[in-house]
Amino acid sequence: MDHMTDLNGQTFLVTGANTGIGKETVRALAGRGARIVMAGRSEEKNRAAMKEIADETGNTDLDFIPLDLGDLASVRSAAATFLASGEPLHVLINNAGLAGSRGMTPSGFELAFGTNHVGPFLFTELLRDHIVASGPGRIVNVASTGHYRAKGIDWDAVRRPTVTRTAFDEYCVSKLANVLHAQELGRQLQGTGVTTYSLHPGAIASDVWREVPFGLRQVMKLFMKSTEQGARTSLYCATSPDVAGDTGRYYDNQREKAPSKVVTPELAAELWERSEKWVTES
């Protein structure tokens, strides 16, 4: 890749980093000399991924902090753990996500929306000032082309359990929220030296589909890209000098792309306002 620059002295925090696209993202960053903090639910899986990546790249500058994005108390604890270390944070990659699961989060949101948007929103807010202070920096939201399917956000539905059988409609709304979040955050951070991005990694054969029935999952994977291919646009947004001056935009296949027509400054501002209120109350 033409944007393979040396990342020595740069600290990256990647959520959902022990599998799939997140793991490939960490592998590539580690190979370029970055320091990486992996945030996720399973310490065992993260430690195993860290060992594998360290053995392969020779980079042992990898750490783990526990994080369950569906539980806002866990989000607060993870952010506090990182901030207590006193180390800088140059790039936050909000990679973790789930699809195909139904229910509600421990913090009272529809499962996909709470895990894919509300948790990352709070995590980003808690780390935001520190990223600015460490800057220049970047905040990257891994979204999805699924956001084009969402007609908007039903503010009541996101506070109730999943309604659809496949949970795909709810997933698409959560990914729309990722794009809107990056857009509004980019607007708010203008002039700080911190830029924001949202992206579609491609239809990827990753663990995000783990709740889809096995037979259907195997068929789906035939038409999907590898996780290594899926990490490319995340890496592009997180490290490429080509997009250093851009902010709040949406990318697909390492190129800027127009997001859904539903992505407006007005809806982004309303989502922000409601999200602030939700995380204050929860």
The domains of the chain are located at 11-281
Work out the average pLDDT over 260-265. Answer: 98
**Per-residue pLDDT at 212:** 54
At 228, the pLDDT band (50, 70, 90 cuts) reads low
Least confident of 37-41, 83-87, 131-135, 165-169: 165-169
Residue 112: other Cβ atoms inside 10 A? 29
- Per residue in 27-46, pLDDT (tens digit) is 999 999 999 999 999 999 99
CA distances in angstroms from 218 to 12, 69, 210, listed in the order given: 33, 27, 11
Q: Quick check: 180 pLDDT over 80?
A: yes
**Spatial CB neighbours of 92, under 8 Å, sequence gap ≥ 6:** 12, 13, 123, 124, 127, 131, 137, 138, 139, 140
Order of strands, sheet of 249-252, starting from the edge strand that comes earlier in the sequence: 62-66, 35-40, 11-15, 91-94, 137-142, 194-200, 249-252, 255-256
**Per-residue pLDDT at 99:** 87
**Per-residue pLDDT at 217:** 52
- d(C-alpha 66, C-alpha 75), whole Å: 9
Q: Quick check: 118 pLDDT over 70?
A: yes
**Per-residue pLDDT at 4:** 46
CB 197 within 8 Å of CB 140: yes
pTM: 0.91
Q: Is 171 a residue of the active site?
A: yes
Name which residue leads in pLDDT, 175 or 20: 175
Q: Quick check: 223 pLDDT over 60?
A: no
**Per-residue pLDDT at 138:** 98
**Per-residue pLDDT at 213:** 59
Helix, strand, or coil (residue 158): helix
**Per-residue pLDDT at 3:** 41
Q: Quick check: 227 pLDDT over 90?
A: no
CB 182 within 8 Å of CB 250: yes
Its CATH architecture, for the domain 11-281, is 3-Layer(aba) Sandwich (3.40)
- d(C-alpha 214, C-alpha 192), whole Å: 46
The catalytic position among 171, 197, 250, 251 is: 171
**Per-residue pLDDT at 20:** 83
Residue 223: other Cβ atoms inside 10 A? 8
Work out the average pLDDT over 70-89. Answer: 97
% helix, strand, coil for the chain, step of 5: 50, 15, 35
At 265, the pLDDT band (50, 70, 90 cuts) reads very high
- Residue 87 β-bridge partners: none
**Per-residue pLDDT at 53:** 97
At 21, the pLDDT band (50, 70, 90 cuts) reads confident
**Per-residue pLDDT at 100:** 87
At 206, the pLDDT band (50, 70, 90 cuts) reads very low
Q: Quick check: 203 pLDDT over 70?
A: no
- d(C-alpha 225, C-alpha 95), whole Å: 17
Name which residue leads in pLDDT, 230 or 104: 104
Q: Quick check: 197 pLDDT over 50?
A: yes
